[in-house]
Structure 1
Amino acid sequence: MRISIGHVSRYTYSEPTKYSILALRLTPRSFQGQRIVEWRISAPGIDSTRPFCDGFGNTVHLVSCIDRHAESLIIAKGVVETEDRAGVVQGLHDSAPLSIYRRQTGKTAANDDIRALAQIAAGRRVRDMHALMHAVRDAIDYRVGTTGSSTTAADALAQGSGVCQDHAHVFIAAARSLGMPARYVSGYLFDGEDRPAEANHAWAEVWLEDLGWVGFDPANRICPTDHYVRLASGLDSSFAAPIRGIRHGVANEELDVVVEVQQQSVQQQQ
């Protein structure tokens, strides 16, 4: 499948700010089942910077704006060719040792409730991970607006509602409580609709001895298919966020995000 993506993020400030710096993890990588046909990013200062690879294998552009500005506009767009590999991720270089992905973070710390949930996957096999995926979704109803970027896995499970970020955090926390390497993935999902979305998608990957990294999307109860485009990964959502930044000044900030994910028609591909 060929998927076209447009990701627009607009930061507006209540008064002009003097300095801002942004780390952009907005460049997907090619691997088995995913090939980048074309991709470009427009952002303040991006023409004067060189991308680098972070410790998790993500491509990062570090951009800055030193002139007074009342907004920052970041646009990422391109075309990605995908193939259904049943969630198995191969051919994607990551220099981080597996032990790193067993490390708990503030957002993925396991409490007694998460450890109890994890027992359904104690066998650590593929079918156990599928069972855990469904258990997480059963425990957390998909509901927008009930959690935020700082919500922890324990909080989301206790609340019983959240979004894909929360499902991924709980799945990761449960897997790590069993001693299994697990990581958070940000990306895009073609859901068959042409409507714009307010955010990108998120899921989890866990290391299985016989298969390597395998993706699980508890929010949709499925392993990633050719409808998914993998963007970045890390220990939790903070490490894989498409955009993170700091700025100088006390102005209030508003963020408006629009994401469009569409399947390319045969005529568009020619």
Structure 2
Amino acid sequence: MKRWAIVFSVFLLLAFFLSLSSPGHAQGDLTGKSYLVVESDINSNIEAKPTSGNAQLEHLIADLYFFPKESNTMRIIDRKATPSAQLNGNNIEWVWIENQEQFDFGVKSVVKTFPTFAGIKEKIDFPLPILEPSLSKYIVATENIDVNHPEIIAAASSLAEGETDLFRVVTKIAYWTRHHVEYDLNTLTAEVTQKASWVLENKKGVCDEVTNLFIALNRALGIPARFVSGVSYTNSERNQWAPHGWAEVYFPGYGWVPFDPTYGQYAWVDAAHIKMKESLDPSEPSTEYEWRGRDIHIKTQQLIFDTQIKEVGQNLPSLLKVDVVALKNNIGFGSANLFTATITNLQPFYLAEEISISKNEELHVLDDEQQLVILPPQGYATVHWRVQTKKDLDEEYKYTIPMLVYSSRNESGSVSFIVEKNNAQYSLQEITKSYQQLSEEDKKVYSKQVDLSCGVGESKFYENEQNNVTCTIRNRGNVYLERLQVCLGKRCKEDVSIGIGQSRKIIFPISWSEEGNKALEVTLKNHEITKTVSVDLERSDLPNLEIASVEAPNVVEYDDVFTVNFTVRRTSEDPPQDVVVTFTRGKSEKKWLIPELHEQVYSITLYAEDFDAMQNSFGISAKFTGPEGDEIKEERKVVVQLDPETVSVYRGIKMWFNKLVNWVEGWF
């Protein structure tokens, strides 16, 4: 009769720590792809060490729950378990009945994954009504998702206060969680998953803890949410694919909708999210083990992952349109400016996206570089960034600075503006006031039904000139507008009225007393609308020039070849146009036409043997017609003496003939 020293049945829960993926890296080359074909290899091993000579293993069972499964957004092309195993719905089971010291197992899958979009086409009211009984388990506390903690409840209530749209509530929670918790791969959070309340208090964690907090905040509001584990693309040289955790939130009528607060993907995840498992809590195991035997020490290993890309689809079509404008097109060194991006949803369903503005060495972005937009179907939203250019830019340069605004899928728009020493300065206070006015305009819905356009007769004008800013206001809506205030800076016209479908012109006379570019703001407002436009003006100094650096010898010998050098250059910011430069001797002359003068250097080669007198006078002139129609002219004179000791009788006769020829044909 056999006697068992130890007879037992044990379940060993191998908790799977989702701590290797880095936030934000999924924004790499795969984010905007239409599909991926990926080979996923998941394997591990079990060691069964005998502890005595009577050791015996009756059976060993390994159940793997963490592997790709067929879904609407993932198709299984091929799957092979090694050794052969039984597929039981959500798990693959290996059973061994033989005695051996090591048991290897794994599953290799080839899958085609697609981006997952929720496609929510209408508003879903919040708070949610009474839920189906099957969903009740997704709103209660679990081991790491302590939804009943007072701080969790308070934070969730604060985020949802005043909201009536479920999509907005869940997206705001995801965005807040992403930016409230610092991704911190330290020992404490990487090896042991912390509770949601701990993450809320300490403001740090890895992807599973970020997701824990997100789920807890939703459940505290009665919104069903569950944990999803899988692998994702990290774009890291060390480990391109790594375990990752995100969430799914239940939307009535649409089912489970993905949210990844770690990567900033809201109501969608890209094709590089390979879903493996759903659970109520991240502590649920990815693998379970059972064995029966005696005098056996069982040691299990963590799962090993190898993910390889086999095929990459084309880029997704644009889901968003991004239009960018600068408040000021020309600014000076150290000046502030404001950029506004209008994000238009091209789809018939809700979208939420973090919109980013590019960094630039010549300026500082003063607002958050990433901003959230929540877009209703085929709707739009605006975001604003204040910037300030650096004061220590090189005065010799004119800077044309491009600003790019883009989404995680690289939908983008751009605008450029000019920074130059003599351009107008705008203080941060001025730009902030404009920012506040535009934000007010965004909130007043009827503002979109009113057109305001302003311009000047001549955008460039000079000292003592007068000009007009002419504004046209058009009411395209169905409300009679009255008690409007129209202001150019601090000059206002009160009690303006505009009927439905009507237009009206408002004229402001202006003069300018400072050199340099300037943009004036015109504001139109009452209790229903706020509109602001910018009018670019340039008050320039009158164009002028000088003849400088004139060089010529005072005395030359008859056989000498020499040069007359001079420079014609502008002395004003506004360059003279159509400048005529003339070099003359007597009635002979040579002319050059310069369409726009900046600086022109001349070097004229002359032969003394061509002189017709002992003292030779040369004239240099430069002239152009000024903006007021008057001729502006600058002249210089050069006298070169011929050394008489080098002039023989024969040479004197030749000089007489030169005079005759020059008179007939011209000096040149």
Q: How does the TM-score come out when normalised to structure 1?
A: 0.77
Deviates more, 1:162-171 or 1:70-79: 70-79
Counterpart CA distance in 1 for 2:208 and 2:98 is: 34
Equivalent position to 1:225, from 270, 273, 279: 270
1:146 to 160, 163, 188: 188
Query: Residue type of the partner of 1:81?
Result: K
Query: 1:155-174 to 2 correspondence within 5 Å?
Result: 155-174=198-217
How many residues align structurally?
Answer: 251
Residue 6 of structure 1 pairs with residue 40 of structure 2: yes
Greater mean alpha carbon deviation, residues 155-164 or residues 202-211 = 155-164
Say if 1:30 and 1:11 are closer, same or farther in 2 by CA, change over 3 A.
closer
* Correspondence list, 1:91-130, <5 A: 97-110=134-147, 111-119=149-157, 120-121=159-160, 123=163, 125-130=166-171
CA separation of 1:13 and 1:156: change in aligned 2, threshold 3 A: farther
Q: Letter of the aligned partner of 2:40 in structure 1?
A: G
SS in 2 for 1:97: helix
**124-133 or 243-252: which moved more?**
243-252
Per-residue deviation, 1:177: 0.9
Report the CA distance between 1:161 and its aligned residue.
Answer: 2.5
Mapped partners of 1:198, 1:258: distance in 2: 12
Residue identity opposite 1:62 in structure 2: E
Counterpart amino acid of residue 135 in structure 1? W
- Report the CA distance shift for 1:116/1:28 in structure 2 as closer, same or farther (over 3 A): same
C-alpha deviation, 1:256, in angstroms = 4.3
Provide closer, same or farther for how the CA distance between residues 36 and 246 of structure 1 changes in structure 2, counting only shifts above 3 A: same
Q: CA deviation at 1:31?
A: 2.4
Secondary structure of the 1:151 match is coil
1:262 to 308, 315, 330: 308
Deviation readout 1:29-66 (Å, 9 max, x if unpaired) = 222222111122225xx43xx3223xxxxx21233334
Q: What amino acid is aligned across from residue 96 of structure 2 in structure 1?
A: C
1:24 Cα offset (Å): 0.9
Structure 2 distance, partners of 1:164, 1:233, is: 15
Q: Give distance in 1, aligned partners of 2:274 and 2:174.
A: 20
In the alignment, does 2:288 pair up with 1:244? yes
Task: Give the stretch that moved more between structures: 126-135 or 179-188.
Answer: 126-135
- Distance change (3 Å), C-alpha of 1:218 and 1:155: same
Contact 2:234 2:242 in 1 (8 A): no
User: Is structure 2 residue 128 aligned with structure 1 residue 85?
Assistant: no
Distance 1:229 1:211, change over 3 A: same
Shift of 1:180: 1.1
Alignment root-mean-square deviation, CA: 3.2
Identity of aligned residues (%): 24
The alpha carbon displacement at 1:204 in A equals: 0.6
Residue of structure 1 equivalent to 2:88: 52
Partner of 2:79: 39
Q: Give the alignment partner of residue 94 of structure 2, picking from 63, 83, 92.
A: 63
1:189·1:261 contact (CA, 8 Å) conserved in 2? Answer: no
Q: Which moved more, 1:153-162 or 1:29-38?
A: 153-162
Cross-structure match for 2:280: 235
Indicate how the Cα distance of structure 1 residues 218 and 253 shifts in structure 2: closer, same or farther if over 3 A, else same: farther
2:250 alignment counterpart: 207
How far has the Cα of 1:246 moved from its partner?
4.4
Residue range with higher mean Cα deviation, 256-265 or 199-208:
256-265
Q: Look at both structures and tell me which one has the larger radius of gyration over its CA atoms.
A: 2
The answer on whether the counterparts of 1:36 and 1:80 sit within 8 Å (CA) in structure 2 is yes
Contact 1:6-1:261 within 8 A present in 2 as well: yes
Structure 1 SS opposite 2:93: strand
The secondary structure found in structure 2 opposite 1:134 is helix
Name the one with the larger strand percent.
2
Distance in 1 between the 2:154 and 2:80 partners? Answer: 44
Contact persistence 2:233–2:240 (CA under 8 A): no
How much does 1:97 deviate?
A: 1.8
What's the secondary structure of 1:173's corresponding residue? Answer: helix
Q: Which range is displaced more, 247-256 or 216-225?
A: 247-256
What's the CA shift for 1:261?
2.8
- Preserved CA contact (<8 Å) 1:109 1:154: yes
Deviation at 1:182, TM superposition (A): 0.8
- What SS class does the counterpart of residue 65 from structure 2 fall into? strand
Secondary structure, in 3 states, of the residue corresponding to 2:176?
helix
Distance 1:22-1:209 versus aligned 2 partners, 3 A rule? same
What is aligned with 1:93? none
Q: Which runs of 4+ in 1 moved over 6 A?
A: none
**How much has 1:193 moved relative to structure 2?**
5.1
Does the 8 Å CA contact 2:228/2:279 hold for their aligned counterparts? yes
The alignment partner of 1:231 has SS state of strand
Q: What is aligned with 2:61?
A: 21
Q: Which amino acid is the alignment partner of residue 79 of structure 2?
A: W
SS of the aligned residue for 2:136 comes to: helix
SS of alignment partner, residue 117 of structure 2: coil
Amino acid at match of 1:104: A
Q: Which amino acid aligns with 1:39?
A: R
Q: Does structure 1 conserve the Cα–Cα contact (< 8 Å) formed by 2:233 and 2:241?
A: no
